[in-house]
Amino acid sequence: MSRRGSLVVTEVRRRIMLNELAPGAVLTELGLAAELACSQAAMREALLRLEGEGLVRRAGHQGTTVTDLDAETAAEILDLRRRIELRGARRAARRAMAGDLARLVGLQVAMDRAASAGDVWGLIEQDIAFHLELFQIGGLDALTPILARCILHTQRFKLWAPWHHRPLVETAARHRVLIEQLRAGDAAGLSRELALHLDTMVDQASAA
C-alpha cells in the first residue's frame, strides 16, 4: 500500500484543504514534484485527479492554479449536498444491515480518537468517510462521486472560513445520533437529524 502516487495526491489535497496552498496559488508540475520528492509524471497524475475534484484548474502551458471559493458557491453546493444526502439517507434507513452499522461505528470511534488527539485533518477525513459510507448504504452508487465532491467542497469552505471553532470532540459526537436513527430504521428521523446536522454546519459558517 506504499503507493507513491496515492500518497502524493493525498498530500497535495490536504495542503489545499488546509489552505497551506491558498486559492490562486500557481503550482508547477516540476516544482511541486521536487518539493514532494516524486517525478513530474506522478505529480501530473495527482494534479489531474485534483482537477477532476475541482480543487485546481489546469490552464494550458501556464501552470496550474488552486481554485477560488466564495460563500455563495459554498451555499449552492451545500444545498445540493443536502438534497443528495437526504435522499440517500431515507433509502439507507430501509436497507441498513448489521455490517453497515458496524462500519459506521468503526468510523465513529476513529473520529472520536482523532478529535481527542486534536487531529483536525484526521477528523475531516473520517467525517467524509462516514458520510460517504452512510450514503452508500442507500445504494445510489452513481451519485456517490458527485456527493463526494460536494462534501469535499463544503468541508473545504468550512475550513477556509475563519470562524470554524466548534470543539472537535463535539463535532465527532454529533454523528452518534445518526447511527442510532439508522439502527432504529427510522427514515424520517434519520433524514431529520441529518438535515439538522447539515444546517448546524451552515449556521456555523454564516454566523459571522
Q: Which is nearer to its own copies, 15 or 156 (CB)?
A: 156
23 binds its own copies, rule: CB under 8 A: no
Q: Which is nearer to DNA, 28 or 144 (CB)?
A: 28
Binding to DNA by CB under 7 A, coded x per residue (else -) over 122-161, reads ----------------------------------------
Q: Rounded distance, CA 69 to CA 161, Å?
A: 10
Q: Name the residue among 128, 127, 101 with its Cα closest to residue 112.
A: 127
Q: Which is nearer to its own copies, 6 or 204 (CB)?
A: 6
- Radius of gyration from C-alpha coordinates of the chain: 18
SS3 string, the chain, reads: CCCHHHHHHHHHHHHHHCCCCCCCCEECHHHHHHHCCCCHHHHHHHHHHHHHHCCEEECCCCCEEECCCCHHHHHHHHHHHHHHHHHHHHHHHHHCCHHHHHHHHHHHHHHHHHHHCCCHHHHHHHHHHHHHHHHHHCCCHHHHHHHHHHHHHHHHHHHHCCCCCCCHHHHHHCCHHHHHHHHHCCHHHHHHHHHHHHHHHHHHHHCC
Which one of the spans 17-25, 126-134, 136-144, 182-190 is the region binding its own copies (CB under 8 A)? 136-144
From the list DNA, its own copies, none, partner contacted by residue 120 (C-beta under 5 to 8 A by kind): none
Q: How far is the CB of 64 from DNA (least distance, A)?
A: 5
Residues 62 to 121 in contact with DNA, rule: CB under 7 A: 62-64
From the list DNA, its own copies, none, partner contacted by residue 153 (C-beta under 5 to 8 A by kind): its own copies
Residues 14 to 53 in contact with DNA, rule: CB under 7 A: 27-31, 38-42, 44-45
203 binds its own copies, rule: CB under 8 A: no
Residues 30 to 59 in contact with its own copies, rule: CB under 8 A: 41, 44-45, 48-49, 51-54
Q: Which residues bind DNA (CB under 7 A)?
A: 2-6, 27-31, 38-42, 44-45, 58, 60-64
